[in-house]
Amino acid sequence: MVLTVAVQMDPIERINIRGDSTFALLLEAQARGHSLAYYTPAELAMREGRVFATVRS
């Protein structure tokens, strides 16, 4: 079963790929064939009790 894995993280251009655990999790999810998406805290919102995020893949 293929999943879309979305995570909240710092802007991708500021990630230290050697020490970032979220990046490591994304690499493992990708290696297992899952689709990836991420969003930053600034792209997270709540409307009428529901959580929304503008994600990038």
Quote the tokens at residue 36: 């990836």
Provide the pLDDT confidence category of residue 34 given band limits of 50, 70 and 90.
very high
The answer on pLDDT for 12 being more than 90 is no
Q: What is the pLDDT of residue 53?
A: 95
Domain count, the chain: 1
Residue 11 has pLDDT above 90, yes or no: no
Q: What is the CATH number of the domain that holds 41?
A: 3.40.50.20
The pLDDT score that the predictor gives to residue 19 is 87
Is the pTM value of this prediction over 0.95? no
Residue 17, token pair as written in the block? 């790929």
Beta strands in the chain (DSSP E): 4-8, 35-39, 44-47, 50-53
Residue 38: which domain range?
4-53
Structure confidence at residue 57 as a pLDDT band (50, 70, 90): confident
